[in-house]
């Protein structure tokens, strides 16, 4: 693939737009569903929880979240207009019933009051954070005391094999992510490294390692 094509893929993964963006979002949903469910499972959701997801994509997975327990309220934040609209259409039933709300944001400042959420999670967005340390403090601020944040991402060892990740991506190993977290008041209460088989672009099955760090305020 040419550099321009690789750059275009990286750009769509970071900020899906247009028809290609919808295709990319569907592919991301399929590729990431196992990681997403893993992150949700590690939240240990309880009745009445207010949950925030950062970078939800098309949010096809939100129905899984509501199967976990009763009386949840879900909030989603996205930098992509396209994903914001797609997520609302796909989850129209939850939006209408005031179970789910979606918002656009700048990717830096979380537009909610302090200590608002019980649980927060994000899957495969870490690579795109502009100021990771500052952003972790933003997450910390909107979490309630003893609130939990699940950070799930594919390992650098896997990601660096993908040619497009040299554009727009800041790759993380588990150790590098933990070093970042140590600069914040978060406590790491659990670390899980998993492997899964996923299909690559040519349809071959490849092994991907991913990490979920469970943090507590």
Q: How far apart are CA 125 and CA 18, in angstroms?
A: 20
Question: Does this model's pTM top 0.85?
Answer: yes
Residue 98 exposed, middle or buried by CB count within 10 Å (0-12, 13-18, 19+): exposed
Number of domains in the chain: 1
At residue 110, the pLDDT reads 97
CA 103 to each of CA 42, 110, 200: distance values in angstroms, whole numbers, following the listed order: 24, 10, 31
Range of the domain at 177: 3-216
Q: What is the 3-state secondary structure (H, E, C) of the chain?
A: CCHHHHHHHHHHHHCCCHHHHHHHHHHHHHHHHHHHHHHHHCCCCCCCCEEEEECCCCCCCHHHHHCCCCCCEEEEEECCHHHHHHHHHHCHHHHHCCCEEEEECCCCCCCCCCCCEEEEEEECCHHHCCCHHHHHHHHHHHEEEEEEEEEEEECHHHHCCCHHHHCCCCCCCHHHHHHHHCCCCCEEEEEEEEEEEEECCCCCEEEEEEEEEEEEC
pLDDT digit string (tens) for 7-32? 888 888 888 788 888 888 888 888 89
Residue 77 CA from chain centroid, whole number = 10
pLDDT digit string (tens) for 110-169? 999 999 999 999 999 999 999 999 999 999 999 999 999 999 999 999 999 988 888 889
At residue 201, the pLDDT reads 61
CB atoms within 10 A of CB 194: 14
Mean pLDDT across 73-96: 96
Max Cα distance, the chain (Å): 50
Residue 77 exposed, middle or buried by CB count within 10 Å (0-12, 13-18, 19+): buried
The more confident residue out of 187 and 203 is: 187
Question: What CATH number does residue 149 fall under?
Answer: 3.40.50.150
At residue 17, the pLDDT reads 86
At residue 1, the pLDDT reads 66
At residue 20, the pLDDT reads 84
Long-range CB pairs of 197-205, under 8 A, 24+ apart, other chains included: 198/31, 198/34, 199/31
- Percentage of the residues of the chain whose pLDDT score is greater than 70: 98
Q: How far apart are CA 55 and CA 177, in angstroms?
A: 18
């Amino acid at each position: 693939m040419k550099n321009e094509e690789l750059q275009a893929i990286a750009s769509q993964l970071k900020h899906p737009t247009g028809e290609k963006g919808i295709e990319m979002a569907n592919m991301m949903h399929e590729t990431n569903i196992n990681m997403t469910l893993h992150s949700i499972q590690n939240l240990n959701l309880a009745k009445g929880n207010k949950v925030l997801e950062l970078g939800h994509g098309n949010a096809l997975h939100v129905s899984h979240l509501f199967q976990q327990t009763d009386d949840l309220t879900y909030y989603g934040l996205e930098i992509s207009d396209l994903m914001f609209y797609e997520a609302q259409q796909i989850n129209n039933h939850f939006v209408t019933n005031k179970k789910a709300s979606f918002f656009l944001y700048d990717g830096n400042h979380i537009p909610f009051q302090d200590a608002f959420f019980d649980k927060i999670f994000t899957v495969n967005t870490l690579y795109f954070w502009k100021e990771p340390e500052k952003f972790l403090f933003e997450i910390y601020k909107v979490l309630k005391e003893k609130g939990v944040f699940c950070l799930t991402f594919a390992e650098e060892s896997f990601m660096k094999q993908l040619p497009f990740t040299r554009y727009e991506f800041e790759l993380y190993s588990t150790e590098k992510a933990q070093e970042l977290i140590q600069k914040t008041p978060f406590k790491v209460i659990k670390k899980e490294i998993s492997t899964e088989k996923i299909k690559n672009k040519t349809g071959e099955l490849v092994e991907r390692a991913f990490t979920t760090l469970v943090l507590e305020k």
